[in-house]
């Protein structure tokens, strides 16, 4: 390889479903930098804080799984084995299971992060060779309510709008989406549209006042789970005030009459108490939506992760159909996908309830079509298990072998106690994974080393139906191998054992061949992109589907769908449904009085296996907290930073509390990212409810009734160690299991390192303290304050003025001074005084702008000097690179203004 | 009535402190006669180190000048040693043959440096560090000679070494043990001390036993040979391997002596007319070599000499200080601790601070401080008084004057808000 020249590879960001184009600049097999691809229509060169930091996530060291690993029994640690042996092992055990217990004793749990080509071969393996529909993905936790909502109303799983619609919409309704954090680049586009057309109305429906609300003209702080009532009430107002489009309803839809009956009971005056939103705000939202020339809606997990997720999607789409706000520029119900290729997975049929080409495994004709395409006699007709059901089936002993790829169910699935019981119960757990830090690996018997971004090649489809090429920029490290290659290798070995004539089904030379076969499966379907191939993608760039053969761009390809009002239903009309409002599955009670919701952090993604490798991305939120409204903190006698036990009917976690006035009183909020690799217990999803929507089978991750109590541990420890995050996390991870409260997080303080916090009862043995000291590398400290009889061990090591590590136990009040020291490199006069907690109070600043490392203190100081937002951008340089911090900076400016106005 | 006669043998700090206390209590009770072997009035022996370094002069360290003796009617014989006590006649006989009768005799004969019984110990250039004469010898030698070896890494040895180094000599310290000040410091503090002294240019030869002092061929010191066979060249040898209480006079008079002259809690020897104080004394089996216990003894002895008959000396909790400018160390009590003690440690090795407090049954029993000895006196008081430290424990290491950082034990780490 030419080591001198910098090569630029065009690819797609591997995080959210926005699908931003990136340019990967590599040299000598190493990624040097990432920049936005100006030519990619979905982001036009922009990237968010996570995307900009992608280069730092590319690693070839112990952060990665570099070889296959195997443990013959669960009492011994896994050891590295040759990849060929691992594939043989997997094939032998799978074949044996299929023969002994039938194909449905195998379950495959995949991921929206796989490429379309990976899905295609996994799907073929499951259905055409193994003969089971037990193949599902983490998209079940993410998009399946959107899928069923689209299918029920519009006839196909197809988001009809595109990003450009932001520039044409007069009203934008954002429901159940914190776009500012979850889809920042698209949110930048919305901000720009709002700035150029201030008359544009933006409505945000969210129980929390998130940073997305910074752009909103109207925030509806809805009570969790009441979205159907809200949308019905909006439709009620539109009907009442003549804002519906009777012509559109008559010509292009059916079923409106029954819905009209239904919504009569949902007058705003009635609904305001259900939703906790004043009637006049409901009316205003309805007027803005119904009265707009073009109304667009964005929605995601707030609607989808619900026991009535399908109903919520349906009720929102009703608004578009009733007002004809679909098929035109600036209109449409737009589901934002959470993962980079959940869309591709849906297209390739990589879910229990889907077959390739948006087909249905319950439909015999569809099964026949796919069987023919694949050249097999038939496909299994027994319904496959969806995510939650799959793990239940493992627990019941029905599924014996679980093959998990590119996802982390021991963190992401709800009701972790059950999930972990299932993982323990399974006879064989195969985990195909790239990163060495996931919670699920603890349960793996066989680990397959997967290649990951930017080592893989294939395609992804983003939220606006745009298919882009993902291109490998560097080779995978060690034995790591692209997922499709692992799958086909094992598939051939299984076929040799149980159906030798099917071996050829998995003979692919490259990704292009897989894509070509997959694209053929879409022919004649709503998403038809059978005319698309790698050559076109490479020459013409990313393409939206449908991309039909022979069609001109006008008819064959569509920027937005349903312009002609014809829908892919049997009648060609879209459907209204008599959608019922059903409250959340779990109501609050005296024992569980809080409504717990969850959401994302701005700079992290999913279970942090990749984004957690970048120290700078840990700046914005430095540790897991439980957020409560200040009134609730007061009510429970909790001060900022004190520990509380949060419990639901399923599990509990102990976290420090933090006040958030953006929450409604009676609500609690946790970030969804924190698993048992970061905190004691089974992670935040130990709390979450696995009850699921009857149609989409998507669990109600977004709402639980929760109880809370202050926990007052007498003994606390707080440590910081500089060094490589992956290595330190691996070494210190056992400490998460030794205390009722524990936290181990990556940290950007002092460059790169980790922070460990522990709390528990008194009487910590000196042997345990010694172990802690040793694991932190503090047995030869440069300064110490030890009083082991009182559980106090406080130590630090330094290199000149630079701190290397420290530990505080007993009380930890010196932590701010030490964090400050570690961060600034400015040593205090006396390290001993600091360790004794006698260095006086220290106010630590928090990074708001990750790109330019601008702190909240700096921003507040500039605001105090009278600087406005534009002046902040030029003086402090915050918000001018990726812009992800802009909503927060705006909020800080607004709070400052409000504070000044409130002063008499 | 004729005044009683008090004869004091020894014009040092213990004897003269006793006289001072006595004069304060009962000024007219005795005719006082003092014999001093040195040709100087009472001076502060512990300040010989700063004199050696040049930080102070001999004039600065005089405690009682000749006017004081005269003003208090004290008959002072300087440069005069007592060679014999005739207890039955209650007389002392001096080296000039003169006889002085007493009603009460106070022995304050102090101690003498121990000289290793090795070949070459009597060579020219082999000296000790005890009195003004020794200091003058060292000052003179430093001006003339280049290299010095101090045998003994105890308090006196280190002070002598530091003084000679300050005066420009190339100084090595030879120590039998593996750590300096092994009776005053634990290993950690000793290592810090050694590092600090090494930074000042002192060299250390640890774990070496002196076998012989070598002749340079001209009857003067030329080097030292150790038991391990190694040798070191030097022009001057200072022996600082310990002191021996001066008991010969008392012993010859039939007074019970052990390591020192044995006294009871009133500082009385086996002869009721004879008292003893200071480094020559063995009280409850302990011979003290530090100044604070001597002063406590002086107070008790004076009380009884003044016929008040109250006050008992019950022994001292001792503490150590090294008089090397810029090096602060302090130790007291059982600073090593044992299986039944708890230890609180504070250290900042870069800042040269190490503090160790030993606690037993809720009381402070020992302290070893290096680098920051500000609270040494407080700790010594707590050790002496056996105060319960239950309420003080949080503050104990911070020091007596530390403002109380009361408040909640756990202050949250970070104010985090999304």
Length of chain A, please? Answer: 904
Beta strands in A704-764 (DSSP E): 704-710, 715-722, 741-747, 753-760
Option in B347, B411, B417 nearest A832 (CB): B347
Q: Please, which residues 592-621 of chain A have a Cβ atom closer than 8 Å to chain B?
A: 601-602, 620-621
User: pLDDT tier at B410 (50, 70, 90 boundaries)?
Assistant: very low
Residues of chain A neighbouring B346 (CB-CB closer than 8 A): 784-786, 832, 835-836
pLDDT at residue number A791: 87
Region A289-299: what's the mean pLDDT?
98
- Whether B290 maps to a domain, the answer reads yes
Whether residue B407 is contained in a domain is answered as no
Chain A CB contacts of B351 under 8 Å are 783, 830-832
Q: Which residues pair with A296 in a beta bridge?
A: A172, A332
Kindly state the greatest CA–CA separation across chain A: 85
Check CB contact under 8 Å for B345 and A640: no
> Domain check: are B56 and B137 in the same one?
no
Which percentage of chain A shows pLDDT scores above 70? 99
Residue in chain A nearest B344 by alpha carbon: A787
pLDDT at A352 exceeding the cut of 90: yes
Residue B315 domain-assigned (yes or no)? no
Please indicate, yes or no, whether residues B78 and B159 belong to a single structural domain of this protein.
Answer: no
By the 8 A CB rule, do B397 and B364 touch?
no
Structural domain count, chain B: 3
Residue A766: per-residue pLDDT: 84
Q: Topology of domain A594-813+824-835, per CATH?
A: Barwin-like endoglucanases (2.40.40)
The confidence band for A549, taking pLDDT boundaries of 50, 70 and 90, is confident
Residues B214 and B283 in one domain: no
The 10 Å Cβ neighbour count of residue A828 is 16
- The pLDDT, as a whole number, for residue A731 is 96
Contact B416 A786 (CB under 8 A): no
The C-alpha angle A519, A470, A147, rounded to 5 degrees, equals 55
Contact B416 A815 (CB under 8 A): no
Is the CATH number of domain A847-902 1.10.10.1100? yes
Q: Which residues pair with A597 in a beta bridge?
A: A669
Task: Give the pLDDT of residue A544.
Answer: 95
Mutate to test the interface with B, among A778, A780, A836 (most CBs of B within 10 A): A836
Q: Is the pLDDT of residue A161 over 80?
A: yes
Identify the band that residue B343 occupies on the pLDDT scale cut at 50, 70 and 90.
very high
pLDDT digits (tens, 9 = 90+) for A364-406: 999 999 999 999 999 999 999 999 999 999 999 999 999 999 9
Residue B190 to residue A538: CA distance in whole angstroms: 74
User: Token match 């039944």: residue?
Assistant: B340
Could you tell me the pLDDT band of residue B408, with boundaries at 50, 70 and 90? very low
How many angstroms away from the CA of B240 is the closest CA of chain A?
Answer: 33
Question: Which of the two residues, A555 and B232, has the higher pLDDT score?
Answer: B232
Residue A796 — very low, low, confident or very high, per pLDDT cuts 50/70/90? very high
Structural domain includes residue B275: yes
The Cβ-side half-sphere exposure at B213, using a 13 Å CA radius, reads 27
Domain boundaries, chain A: 7-57, 68-140+342-507, 144-335, 594-813+824-835, 847-902
Q: Specify if B160 maps to a domain.
A: yes
State mean pLDDT over A812-835: 89
Look at strands B30-36 and B75-78 and give their pairing. parallel
Confidence label for B203 from pLDDT (cuts 50, 70 and 90): very high
Residues A761-768 have a mean pLDDT of: 87
- Picking from A601, A622, A832, the nearest residue to B348 by CB comes out as A832
Among residues B181, B214, B239, which one ends one of the domains?
B239
Total H helices, total E strands in chain A: 30, 34
Count Cβ atoms within 10 A of the Cβ of residue B328 and give its class: 0-12 exposed, 13-18 middle, 19 or more buried. Answer: middle
Mean pLDDT of B144-150: 96
- pLDDT bin (cut points 50, 70, 90) of residue A842 is confident
Interface test with B, best of A718, A812, A813, A860 (most B CBs within 10 A): A813
Q: What is the mean pLDDT of chain A?
A: 95
Per-residue pLDDT, B411: 35
Q: Specify the CATH number of the domain A7-57.
A: 3.30.200.210
Quick one: tokens of A188? 């930048």
Sheet holding B104-107, edge to edge: B75-78, B30-36, B4-9, B104-107, B274-276
Pairwise CA distance, residues B245 & B241, whole Å? 14
Q: Is residue B165 part of a domain?
A: yes
Quick one: B233 and B131 in the same domain?
Answer: yes
- The bridge status of strand A106-110 relative to strand A401-405 is parallel
For A68-140+342-507, CATH gives 3.40.50.740
pLDDT digits (tens, 9 = 90+) for A140-153: 999 999 999 999 99
Q: How far is B377 from chain A (nearest CA, A)?
A: 20
| Per-residue pLDDT, A3 | 62
CA–CA separation, B279 and A267 (whole Å): 103
Alpha-helical regions (H) of A291-308: 301-304
* Pairwise CA distance, residues A309 & A302, whole Å: 9
Any chain B CB within 8 A of the CB of A767?
A: no
Please indicate whether, in this complex, the C-beta atoms of B350 and A782 are within 8 angstroms of each other. Answer: yes
Look up the pTM and report it.
0.88
Q: Burial-class residue A478 by CB neighbours within 10 Å (0-12, 13-18, 19+).
A: middle
Domain boundary, last residue among B239, B260, B293: B239
Q: What is the pLDDT of residues B316-337, one digit of tens each?
A: 887 877 878 788 899 999 999 9
Architecture of domain A144-335: 3-Layer(aba) Sandwich (3.40)
CATH number, domain containing residue B250: 3.50.50.60
CB contact under 8 A, A640 and B347: no
What is the mean pLDDT of the segment spanning B149-156? Answer: 94
Residue B181 falls in which region: left (phi positive, over 0), alpha (psi -120 to 50) or beta: left
Taking Cα atoms as reference points, which of B199, B157, B192 lies closest to residue B175? Answer: B157
Q: Is A819's CB within 8 Å of B414's CB? A: yes
Please check whether residues B295 and B261 belong to one and the same domain.
Answer: yes
* Band (B416; pLDDT cuts 50, 70, 90): very low
Q: Are residues B267 and B281 in the same domain?
A: yes
Residue B69: its H or E element: helix B66-71
Q: Reply yes or no on whether the pLDDT at A901 is more than 90.
A: no
Q: Which residues of A touch B348 (CB under 8 A)?
A: 782-783, 830-832, 835
pLDDT at A556 over 70: no
Tell me, yes or no, whether B108 and B248 share the same domain: yes
Contacts of A306 (CB under 8 A, 6+ apart): A145, A225, A227, A312, A584, A693, A698, A700, A702, A703
Number of H helices, E strands in chain B: 10, 25
Distance, CA of A811 to CA of A867 (rounded, Å): 40
Q: List pLDDT tens digits, range A265-274.
A: 999 999 999 9
* Nearest chain A residue to B353, by CA: A832
Cα A200 from chain centre = 29
Percent of chain A residues past pLDDT 90, beyond the cut:
88
Q: Are residues B216 and B267 in the same domain?
A: no
Q: Which residue has the tokens 């229990």?
A: A352
Residues of A in contact with B411 (CB under 8 A): 641, 811-813, 816
Does A842 contact chain B (CB < 8 Å)? no
Rounded Cα distance, B303 and B283, in Å: 17
Q: Tell me, what's the pLDDT at A2?
A: 54
Domain span including residue B198: 126-239
Q: Tell me whether the omega of the peptide bond preceding residue A546 falls within 30 degrees of 0, making it cis.
A: yes
Q: pLDDT for A305-323, tens place per residue?
A: 999 999 999 999 999 999 9
**Closest chain B residue to A624, measured at CA:** B416
Q: Is the pLDDT of residue A47 over 80?
A: yes
DSSP string for A829-869: S-HHHHHTT-S-------EEETTTTEEHHHHHHHHHTT--H
pLDDT score at A614: 93
Taking an 8 Å cut-off on Cβ atoms, the answer to whether B342 and A781 are in contact is no
Q: How many CB pairs under 8 A join A and B?
A: 117
Q: What is the mean pLDDT of residues A14-35?
A: 96
CA-based radius of gyration for chain B: 24
Find the residue in B nearest to A798 (Cα).
B350
- Residue A483 pLDDT exceeds 50: yes
């Amino acid at each position: 390889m030419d080591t001198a020249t910098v090569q630029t590879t065009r690819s797609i960001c591997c995080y959210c479903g926005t699908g931003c184009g990136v340019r990967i600049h590599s040299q000598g097999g190493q990624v040097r930098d990432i920049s936005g691809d100006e030519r990619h229509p979905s982001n036009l060169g922009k990237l968010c804080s996570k995307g900009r930091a992608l280069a730092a996530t590319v690693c070839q060291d112990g952060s990665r799984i570099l070889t296959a690993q195997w443990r013959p029994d669960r009492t011994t640690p896994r050891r590295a084995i040759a990849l060929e042996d691992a594939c043989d092992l997997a094939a032998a055990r799978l074949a044996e299971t299929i023969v002994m217990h039938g194909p449905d004793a195998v379950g495959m749990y995949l991921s929206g992060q796989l490429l379309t080509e990976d899905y295609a071969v996994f799907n073929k393996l499951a259905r055409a060779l193994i003969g089971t529909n037990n193949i599902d993905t983490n998209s079940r936790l993410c998009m399946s309510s959107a899928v069923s909502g689209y299918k029920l109303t519009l006839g196909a799983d197809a988001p009809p709008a595109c990003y450009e619609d932001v520039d044409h919409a007069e009203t934008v309704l954002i429901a159940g989406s914190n776009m500012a954090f979850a889809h920042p680049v698209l949110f930048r586009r919305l901000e720009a549209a709002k700035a150029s057309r201030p008359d544009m109305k933006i409505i945000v429906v969210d129980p929390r006042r998130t940073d997305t609300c910074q752009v909103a003209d109207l925030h509806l702080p809805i009570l969790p789970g009441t979205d159907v009532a809200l949308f019905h009430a909006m439709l009620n107002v539109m009907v009442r005030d003549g804002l519906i489009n009777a012509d559109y309803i008559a010509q292009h839809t059916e079923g409106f009459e029954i819905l009209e009956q239904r919504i009569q009971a949902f007058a705003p005056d009635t609904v305001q108490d259900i939703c906790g939103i004043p009637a006049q705000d409901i009316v205003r939202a309805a007027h803005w939506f119904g009265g707009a020339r073009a109304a667009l809606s964005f929605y995601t997990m707030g609607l989808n992760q619900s026991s009535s997720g399908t109903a919520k999607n349906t009720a929102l789409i009703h608004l578009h159909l009733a007002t004809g706000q679909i098929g035109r520029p600036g209109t449409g119900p737009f589901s934002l996908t959470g993962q980079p290729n959940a869309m591709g997975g849906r297209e390739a049929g990589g879910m229990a309830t889907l077959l390739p080409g948006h087909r249905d495994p319950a439909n015999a004709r569809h099964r026949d079509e796919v069987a023919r395409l694949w050249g097999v006699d038939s496909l299994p007709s027994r319904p496959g298990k969806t995510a939650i059901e799959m793990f239940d089936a493992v627990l019941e002993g029905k599924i014996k072998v679980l093959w998990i790829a590119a996802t982390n169910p021991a963190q992401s699935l709800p009701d972790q106690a059950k999930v972990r019981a299932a993982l323990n119960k399974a006879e064989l757990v195969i985990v195909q994974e790239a990163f060495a830090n996931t919670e699920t690996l603890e349960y793996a018997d066989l680990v397959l080393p997967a290649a990951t971004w930017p080592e893989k090649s294939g395609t992804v489809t983003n939220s606006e139906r745009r298919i882009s090429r993902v291109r490998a920029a560097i080779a995978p490290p060690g034995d790591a191998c692209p997922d499709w290659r692992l799958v086909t290798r094992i598939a051939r070995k299984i076929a040799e054992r149980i159906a030798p004539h099917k071996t050829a089904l998995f003979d692919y030379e490259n990704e292009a061949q897989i894509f070509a076969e997959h694209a053929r499966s879409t022919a004649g379907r709503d998403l038809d992109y059978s005319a698309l191939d790698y050559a076109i993608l490479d020459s013409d760039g990313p393409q939206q589907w449908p991309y039909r053969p022979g069609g001109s761009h006008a008819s064959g390809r569509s920027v937005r769908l349903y312009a002609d009002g014809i829908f892919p239903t049997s009648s060609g009309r879209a459907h209204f449904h008599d959608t019922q409002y059903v409250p959340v599955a779990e109501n609050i009670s005296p024992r569980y009085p809080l409504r717990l919701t969850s959401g994302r952090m701005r700079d992290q993604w999913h279970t942090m296996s990749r984004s957690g490798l970048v120290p700078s991305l840990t700046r914005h939120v430095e540790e897991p907290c439980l957020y409560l409204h200040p009134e609730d903190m007061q009510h429970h006698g909790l001060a900022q930073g004190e520990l509380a036990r949060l419990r639901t009917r399923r599990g509990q976690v102990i976290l420090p509390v933090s006040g958030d006035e953006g929450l409604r009183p009676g609500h609690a909020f946790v970030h969804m990212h924190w698993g048992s690799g970061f905190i004691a217990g089974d992670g935040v999803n130990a709390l979450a409810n696995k009850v699921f929507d009857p149609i989409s089978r998507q669990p109600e991750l977004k709402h639980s009734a929760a109880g809370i109590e202050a926990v007052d541990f007498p003994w606390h420890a707080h440590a910081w160690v500089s060094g490589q995050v992956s290595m330190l996390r691996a070494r210190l991870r056992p400490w998460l299991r030794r205390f009722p409260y524990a936290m181990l997080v990556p940290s950007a303080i002092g460059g790169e390192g980790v922070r460990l916090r522990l709390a528990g009862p008194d009487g910590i043995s000196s042997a345990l303290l010694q172990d802690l000291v040793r694991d932190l590398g503090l047995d030869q400290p440069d300064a110490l304050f030890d009083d082991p009889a009182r559980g106090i061990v406080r130590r630090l090591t330094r290199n000149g003025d630079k701190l290397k590590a420290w530990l505080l136990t007993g009380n930890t009040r010196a932590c701010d001074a030490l964090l400050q020291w570690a961060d600034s490199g400015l040593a205090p006069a006396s390290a001993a005084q600091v360790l004794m907690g006698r260095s006086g109070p220290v106010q630590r600043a928090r990074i708001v702008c990750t790109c330019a490392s601008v702190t909240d203190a700096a921003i507040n100081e500039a605001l105090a000097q009278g600087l406005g937002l534009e002046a902040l951008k030029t003086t402090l340089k915050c918000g001018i690179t990726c812009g992800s911090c802009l909503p927060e900076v705006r909020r800080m400016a607004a709070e400052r203004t409000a504070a000044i106005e409130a002063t008499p | 009535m004729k005044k009683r006669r008090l004869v004091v043998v020894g014009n040092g700090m213990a004897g003269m402190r006793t006289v001072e206390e006595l004069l304060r209590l009962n000024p007219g009770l005795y005719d006082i006669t003092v014999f001093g072997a040195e040709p100087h009035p009472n001076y502060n022996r512990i300040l010989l180190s700063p004199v050696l370094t040049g930080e102070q002069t001999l004039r600065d360290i005089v405690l009682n000048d000749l006017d004081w003796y005269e003003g208090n009617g004290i008959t002072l014989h300087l440069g005069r040693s007592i060679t014999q006590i005739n207890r039955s006649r209650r007389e002392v006989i001096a080296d000039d043959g003169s006889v002085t009768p007493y009603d009460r005799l106070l022995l304050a004969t102090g101690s003498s440096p121990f000289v290793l019984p090795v070949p070459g110990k009597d060579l020219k250039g082999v000296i000790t560090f005890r009195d003004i004469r020794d200091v003058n010898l060292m000052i003179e030698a430093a001006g003339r000679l280049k290299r010095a070896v101090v045998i003994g890494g105890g308090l006196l040895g280190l002070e002598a070494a530091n003084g000679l180094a300050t005066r420009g000599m190339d100084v090595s310290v030879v120590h039998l043990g593996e750590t300096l000040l092994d009776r005053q410091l634990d290993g950690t503090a000793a290592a810090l001390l050694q590092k600090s002294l090494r930074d000042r240019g002192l060299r250390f030869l640890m774990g070496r036993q002196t076998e012989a002092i070598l002749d340079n061929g001209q009857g003067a010191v030329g080097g030292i040979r150790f038991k391990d066979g190694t040798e070191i060249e030097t022009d001057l040898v200072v022996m600082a391997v310990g002191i021996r209480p001066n008991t010969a006079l008392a012993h010859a008079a039939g007074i019970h002596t052990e390591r020192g002259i044995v006294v009871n809690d009133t500082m009385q020897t086996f002869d009721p007319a004879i008292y003893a104080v200071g480094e020559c004394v063995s009280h409850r089996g302990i011979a003290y070599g530090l100044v604070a216990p001597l002063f406590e003894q002086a107070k008790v002895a004076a009380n009884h000499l003044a016929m008040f008959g109250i006050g008992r000396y019950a022994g001292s909790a001792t503490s150590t200080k090294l008089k090397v400018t810029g090096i602060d160390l302090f130790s007291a009590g059982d600073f090593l601790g044992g299986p039944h003690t708890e230890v609180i440690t504070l250290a900042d090795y870069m800042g040269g601070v190490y503090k160790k407090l030993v606690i037993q049954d809720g009381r402070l029993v020992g302290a070893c401080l290096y680098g920051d000895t500000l609270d040494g006196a407080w700790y010594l008081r707590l050790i002496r008084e056996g105060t319960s430290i239950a309420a003080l424990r949080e503050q104990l290491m911070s020091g007596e004057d530390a403002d109380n950082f009361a408040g909640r034990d756990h202050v949250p780490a970070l104010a985090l808000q999304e």
